[in-house]
Amino acid sequence: MYEEVVHARGHENVSAEHASTFEVTSDDWLTPAGDCILAVEADRVPADFDEAFVDACRDETATITAILEVRTDGGESFEQRIEGRGHPDLSFENERSHVGRTSDYVDDRTVLVGAEGAAGDVDRDIVSALADGGEVTFTLRVE
């Protein structure tokens, strides 16, 4: 098992309504149109990940789990897991965003395909915590 951990934060414009993707970005802004974005100001991007992690993700039989943990200023904590799989074309070269997809589409932002859910499937209590600017730990685990 390999794991990569990214720290980010929510944003007032998080709506998490997209039906086929979810995203964590290093951008420090978010417009209302970004309905797949769950968190901003990511401290790491796919290009930062260890080569052994990347190689493991390129196995199409690999299970990749995205774990979104959110902590509010009030001390509440939430967690959501979205499971997907690897793909031989995953490059992890993007220097801006991590995108999980329910489809098999791959570009340089894609970190997993075949996801069992997208932004629109995230628990609404978590979405509220993200919209309130909650602190985010975004973990990608490959097995």
Closest alpha carbon to 132 in 11, 4, 30: 11
Tens digit of each residue's pLDDT, the chain (143 residues): 999 999 999 999 999 999 999 999 999 999 999 999 999 999 999 999 999 999 999 999 999 999 999 999 999 999 999 999 999 999 999 999 999 999 999 999 999 999 999 999 999 999 999 999 999 999 999 99
pLDDT score at 56: 98
Count how many domains the chain has: 1
pLDDT score at 141: 98
Structural domain of residue 124, as residue ranges? 2-142
pLDDT score at 100: 98
CATH number of the domain to which 87 belongs = 2.60.120.630
pLDDT score at 37: 98
Q: How many CB atoms lie within 10 A of CB 13?
A: 16
pLDDT score at 67: 98
pLDDT score at 90: 98
